[in-house]
Amino acid sequence: MIIPLEEAQKIDPAIEQRELDAYEQMIRQLSNNPFQNIYIRYKHLTFSDKSILLVSAPEGLRAGDTIQISGSRQNDGLTTILSIKDKTIETTVKEPFFDGSFFDAFLTKIEYPPDIRYGVEELIKYNQQMRTKIGIKSESIARMTITYDDRSTAETVDGFPIAKFNFLNKYKKMRWG
């Protein structure tokens, strides 16, 4: 997760976890960057309920870290670590994992740079301030004048002005095939 729900709610008390998940997915899609720390990767995973059992004790992982599961087919995706006990990682997945051992499955730690977090905070602030003003370009109170904004898809990304995503430019990766 880029920003914990409790901290996001200090900016916008109405925000929900699903919105933060959507911001994370949007940033990963727009930048084509998984933000993986490939030096913290574990292979040969065993899944049971909402837990992952590793072959060796996990080093470099803590409660609250985001991990990406790959190569397991059924259990692939992002999740957050709730706790770590010996070789077992408890996660926040909504649905229980499909039980089983997967030789080709691996998990990788996800790390977002501080400016990505700052960018998400700015998106939350913008969304909170502009939520009620969508479509209005300018408004005058005396003699009542309202000018409506006609944004094209070239000027917006998921309802936000494209300029709000400039913080992603240095993290964008090429898309191949």
Query: How buried is residue 107: exposed, middle or buried, by Cβ count under 10 Å (0-12/13-18/19+)?
Result: buried
Per-residue pLDDT, 144: 76
Mean pLDDT rounded to a whole number for the chain: 90
Per-residue pLDDT, 4: 93
CA angle 170, 172, 175 (to 5 degrees): 155
Q: How many CA atoms lie within 13 A of 45 on its CB side?
A: 29
Query: How buried is residue 20: exposed, middle or buried, by Cβ count under 10 Å (0-12/13-18/19+)?
Result: buried
| Alpha carbons 75 and 52: distance in angstroms, whole number | 10
Strand, coil or helix: 39: strand
Per-residue pLDDT reduced to its tens digit, 80-99: 999 999 999 999 999 999 99
Percent of the chain having pLDDT more than 90?
76
| Alpha carbons 117 and 111: distance in angstroms, whole number | 10
151 has a pLDDT exceeding 70:
no
Can you point out the beta strands (E) in 93-169?
100-110, 136-140, 145-148, 156-157, 160-161
**DSSP H or E segment with residue 88:** strand 88-91
Per-residue pLDDT reduced to its tens digit, 125-138: 999 988 776 666 66
- How would residue 112 be classed by pLDDT, with cut points 50, 70 and 90? very high
Percent of the chain having pLDDT more than 70?
90
- Of residues 161 and 87, the one with the higher pLDDT is 87
| Alpha carbons 62 and 121: distance in angstroms, whole number | 23
Per-residue pLDDT reduced to its tens digit, 16-45: 999 999 999 999 999 999 999 999 999 999
Per-residue pLDDT, 67: 97
Per-residue pLDDT, 10: 97
Domains, the chain: 5-33+113-170 (no CATH), 38-110 (2.40.30.20)
Per-residue pLDDT, 135: 60
